[in-house]
Amino acid sequence: MKLIFLNYRAVVFLIHSIILLSICLPLQANQSIAFFYGRPVPVNLLSHYKQVVVEPENMDNLDDLHAKGTNVFAYISIGEIHLTRSWYSEIPKSWILGSNEKWGSRIIDLTQQGWHDYLINKYLSKLWKEGYRGFFLDTMDSYQSAVHDADGRLLQEKALASLISRIHQHFP
């Protein structure tokens, strides 16, 4: 019976994600998209795409891409934080669940409301002011590497759903 419950939660989470995507993305979205996380950002090459996802800390010329009609999404890791982030020192150690050794990052406890507030009120708000009008959310399942019990995972999933809803409310 426990296995069925876990599969049911996965299906509910998948359906929630699909509904959220259908609300957030235009019906006739252009499928032309590029991902570039390095530096320097090759604006001339990326301007050939309708949509691009970039690492905001590496982006010096966002206005140039906007001027060429490109929709620019900021890459956001909401389940992990890398030690090289300029704002890593602002994150309390109590928000960290564990480590992702492959990427050299720290796994965030998504149940920490302080993490939600920090992302929305400090980091994402700053990016919104800079001109980003979309966020590409990644590492949403990282908690699974650190939380192994069903109850703990359910708490992480509920917190993740709450965080995504809050992001959508603040940044339509």
**pLDDT confidence bin for 107, thresholds 50/70/90:** very high
Cα-only R_g, the chain = 17
Whether 29 maps to a domain, the answer reads: no
Tell me the per-residue pLDDT of 118-157, one tens digit each, with 9 for 90 and over.
999 999 999 999 999 999 999 999 999 999 999 999 999 9
Structure-token pair, residue 108:
């965030």
| Segment 67-89 mean pLDDT | 94
Tell me the per-residue pLDDT of 7-32, one tens digit each, with 9 for 90 and over.
556 555 555 555 555 555 544 545 68
Whether 31 maps to a domain, the answer reads: no
Owning domain of residue 40: 2-24+36-170
Q: What is the pLDDT of residue 8?
A: 56
Q: What is the pLDDT of residue 80?
A: 97
Residue by residue, DSSP assigns 15-41 as: HHHHHHHHHHS-TT----EEEE-SSS-
Which letter does DSSP use for residue 112 in this model? Answer: -
CATH number for the domain including 153? Answer: 3.20.20.70
pTM of the model: 0.79
Distance in angstroms (rounded) separating the CA atoms of residues 141 and 145: 8
Whether 156 maps to a domain, the answer reads: yes
Whether 115 maps to a domain, the answer reads: yes
How many domains, the chain? 1
Distance in angstroms (rounded) separating the CA atoms of residues 133 and 50: 14
Percent of all residues in the chain with a pLDDT value above 70, rounded to a whole number: 82
